[in-house]
Amino acid sequence: MATMNALILVDLQNDFVPGGALAVPDGDAVVPVANRVQSRFDLVVATQDWHPPDHGSFATNHEGKRPGDVVDLNGLQQILWPVHCVQNTPGAELLSGLDTRRIARVFTKGTDTGIDSYSAFFDNDHRKATGLGDELKDRGVSRIYVMGLATDYCVKFTALDARSLGFETFLIDDGCRGVGLKPGDIEAAIEEMKSSGVMLVKSEKAGL
Ligand code: VGL
Ligand code: ZN
C-alpha cells in the first residue's frame, strides 16, 4: 500500500504572529511555506488554539500573576500566558493569508478551562484525545509532517505525541517559529523532538 502522508498545520492564528496577543517572533514567515507545501500531501489538517475567556492558562485569571509565571493548574505545572486565542475573537482566527482550501478538518484545543492543550492530539495530561489520532489512523496515514507555531510549545508536543502514537514524524524546520521565553528554549525543543525520533527537514530540500 502506498504511504499516506499527512500535514498538520499547528496554530496558524492571528494571536501568534507579530501584532497578536502572544506574538511569536517572525511567526508570519511560515505562511508562504504552509501555502506552498500543502499540495504535496494526501491529507491536510489544522489546529486552532481555542480558549474560553476564563481559561486557566491566562495570567489574568490568577490573582497577582503575570505572563511567564508558573502555577499549579489541577496538578500540572502551567506557564501563564497573555490572554490569547479566545473563542470567536479575531485573534483566534486562522491567518488570513493562509490558503485553507485543502484543509480537511480543523481541530480545536484548549477548550477546557482547567487544563491546557499544546498538542494536536491530547491535552497536557493526556486525559482527553482531540480525535486527530484516530482520524489519521482511520485514513491510513503512516507519515506525518508537522509545521506551524510555536516550535517550543504546540509544535513540539504535537510532534512528540505523533511519535508516541507510532507515526513516522517529520518536522518542517523552515515552517516553524518559536516563542523562546528563555534563550535556548527553541534549540532545546528541537533536540527533544530529534531524540524521540522526529526527523527534521527543510521544505525545499525535501521536495515539498
Ligand atoms: C501555544 C502557548 C499557549 C502554541 C498555545 O500554539 O504554541 N503556546 N498556547
Ligand atoms: Zn493557548
Q: Which residues pair with 106 in a beta bridge?
A: 46
CA torsion sign for 163, 202, 36, 175 is positive
72 domain-assigned: no
Counting every residue, how long is the chain?
208
Here the CATH number for the domain that contains residue 133 is 3.40.50.850
154: annotated active-site residue? yes
Grid cell listed for 67:
505572563
Nearest CA to ligand 1 atom 3: 81
Summary count for the chain: helices (H), strands (E)? 4, 8
Domain limits for position 183 = 4-53+85-205
Q: Cβ neighbours of residue 22 under 8 Å, at least 6 residues apart?
A: 15, 16, 81, 82, 84, 85, 179
pLDDT at 68 over 90: yes
Q: If you search the block for the grid coordinates 481541530, which residue do you land on?
A: 107
On whether the pTM is more than 0.85, the answer is yes
70 domain-assigned: no
11: annotated active-site residue? yes
Alpha-carbon dihedral angle through residues 34, 35, 40, 46, given to the nearest 10 degrees: 50
Nearest CA to ligand 1 atom 6: 154
Nearest CA to ligand 1 atom 8: 153
69 domain-assigned: no
Report the residue among 8, 108, 117, 118 best suited for mutation to probe ligand 1: largest number of ligand atoms under 8 A from its CB: 118
pLDDT at 180: 97
In angstroms, rounded to a whole number, what is the distance separating the alpha carbons of residues 33 and 1? Answer: 29
109: annotated active-site residue? yes
67 domain-assigned: no
33 domain-assigned: yes
110 domain-assigned: yes
ω into 150 cis (within 30 of 0):
yes
CB 13 within 8 Å of CB 49: yes
pLDDT at 3: 77
In angstroms, rounded to a whole number, what is the distance separating the alpha carbons of residues 125 and 115? Answer: 8
96 domain-assigned: yes
Catalytic residue, candidates 109, 152, 161, 174: 109
pLDDT at 91 over 80: yes
What are the tens digits of pLDDT across the range 142-195? 999 999 999 999 999 999 999 999 999 999 999 999 999 999 999 999 999 999
Grid cell listed for 150:
510555536
User: At CA 110, angle to CA 105 and CA 114, rounded to 5?
Assistant: 150
The total of structural domains in the chain comes to 1
